[in-house]
Amino acid sequence: MAAPFSWLRPEAHGLYIVPADAWIDPARPVDLALITHGHADHARGGHGRTVATAATLAIMALRYGTGEGAVPVDYGESIPLPGGVRATFVPAGHVLGSAQILLEHAGERVVVTGDYKRRPDPTCPPFEPVPCDVFVTEATFGLPVFRHPPIEQEITRLLAARDEHPGRCLLVGAYALGKAQRVIAELRRAGHGEPIYLHGAMERMCRLYQDWGIALGELRPVAGLPPAALAGQIVVCPPSALNDRWSRRLPDPLTAMASGWMRVRQRARQRQVELPLIISDHADWDELTGTITEVDPGETWITHGREDALLRWCELTQRKARALALVGYEDEDD
């Protein structure tokens, strides 16, 4: 019999499922790809066949055009892969369509989380812990300094800033897939009923979310509006547009950014953000360590992020763990 888990091999550009000749979130085109979620660092175009949730496939189609070779799966649905491997997609709570992938082969169970969080999110079903032998986790915020506050608190700060500066436009930088829609949905939940204005790069993704039944309220494009019309309004744009030419048209914008990195003052200052909102779609330190404790796998593999600290924590709590040196997964804006 082969060594335990030798059928799943971490390669530089993704996790390779040997008997199935399939890849999870590969960084280059392959014949058979399993995709955890639609963020560009995980979902790339050009694969022969792409297995993912229908929402993730819709997001990929929006970004890369054709939906050729798409194989949709439902949450909880188990599909057979070549070589005696079964794959089950389980909610990860990260963004619309995001999934953990449970792989079963030769009596061994491996869960690949992709990116995940444990906080409630009105735009996607919550993370479900799945018992397994190997838990392959992300560690984007894998440092004990990262403890995300409740999102309600951050949304309250955002609305308070808007009330305090009625003449300024509140410009919120948020990742175009997931973060933007979650912030909008949470604003609605907090009772903000006015139209929310969108940077052009946000419009199609928000429409996709709405088509998938996520209520975002009235959204309007910024393009073509006179600056005065935006005073006192909330505008959502990609982080890259916060301090670029595009934002010059806005009336005295107060720049906010929704990101887990905003926990660190210097990161917020580098971004020239006036109102840092600590809102993340990734698990913070307590969620990472809490999830590993809850799933209690035989082994923990850490894919990307601040793996050193999480590895150290596993060592301190006497858990078997290893860091996989995967490249290309890092989300500076999330």
Partner 1 sequence: MIAFAALVDALVYSRSRNGKLALIADYLRATPDPDRGWALAALTDGLDFPAVKASTVRNLLMDRVDPVLFQLSRDYVGDTAETASLLWPEPATIPGPPPTVGEAVAALSAMTRASVQQGLAALLDRLDANGRYALLKLATGAMRLGISARLAKVAFAQAFGVSVEDVEEYWHGQVPPYLPLFDWAANGAPPPSGEDLPLFRPFMLAHPLDPAAEPDLADYAAEWKWDGIRVQVSCNGVETRVYSRSGDDISATFPEIAAALTIPAVLDGELLVRGSYQGAAEGGAASFNALQQRLGRKSVSKAMLADYPAFVRLYDVLIAEGEDLRPLAWERRRMALEGLVPRLDPDRFDLSALIPARTFAELAEVRAAARDAAIEGVMLKRRDSPYGAGRRTGLWYKWKRDPLLADCVLMYAQRGSGKRSSFYSDFTFGCWTGDPDQGGELLPVGKAYFGFTDEELKWLDRHVRQHTVNRFGPVRETDRSLVLEVAFDSIHASKRHKSGLAMRFPRIHRIRSDKPAHEADRIETLRALIAD
Please list, in sequence order, all residues whose beta carbon lies within 8 angstroms of the beta carbon of residue 219, skipping any fewer than 6 positions away: 184, 195, 196, 197, 198, 203, 206
DSSP SS3 for 92 = coil
Q: How far is the CB of 169 from partner 1 (least distance, A)?
A: 14
Question: Nearer to partner 1 by C-beta: 66 or 266?
Answer: 266
Stretch that binds partner 1, among 61-69, 126-134, 209-217, 267-275 (CB under 8 A): 267-275
Residue 144 in contact with partner 1, rule: CB under 8 A? yes
Residue 186's φ and ψ, nearest 5 degrees, are: -70, -35
Distances (CA, A) of 34 to 67, 86, 119, 301: 14, 12, 25, 18
The only residue of 55, 143, 183, 202 in contact with partner 1, by rule CB under 8 A: 143
Per-residue x/- track, 204-243, partner 1 (CB under 8 A)? ---------------------------------------x
How far is residue 8 from each of residues 79, 133, 217, 315, measured CA to CA in Å?
A: 17, 13, 44, 23
Q: Tell me which of 28, 312, 320, 322 binds partner 1, using CB under 8 A.
A: 312
Beta strands in the chain (DSSP E): 8-11, 14-17, 22-24, 32-34, 49-53, 70-73, 78-81, 85-91, 99-105, 108-112, 134-139, 170-173, 196-198, 219-221, 234-237, 254-258, 275-277, 299-305, 321-323
- 292 is a contact residue toward partner 1 (CB under 8 A): no
Q: Which is nearer to partner 1, 78 or 317 (CB)?
A: 317
Binding to partner 1 by residue 322, rule CB under 8 A?
no
Binding window for partner 1 (CB under 8 A); candidates: 50-58, 82-90, 144-152, 169-177: 144-152
Fill in the per-residue mask, 98 to 137: x = in contact with partner 1 (CB under 8 A), - = not in contact: ----------------------------------------
Task: Work out which of 244, 294, 296, 330 binds partner 1, going by CB under 8 A.
Answer: 244
Taking residue 156's Cβ as centre, other Cβ atoms within 10 Å add up to 12
Q: Which is nearer to partner 1, 25 or 154 (CB)?
A: 154
- Which residues are near partner 1 by CB under 8 A? 143-147, 243-245, 247-248, 263-266, 268-269, 272-276, 306, 308-309, 312-313, 316
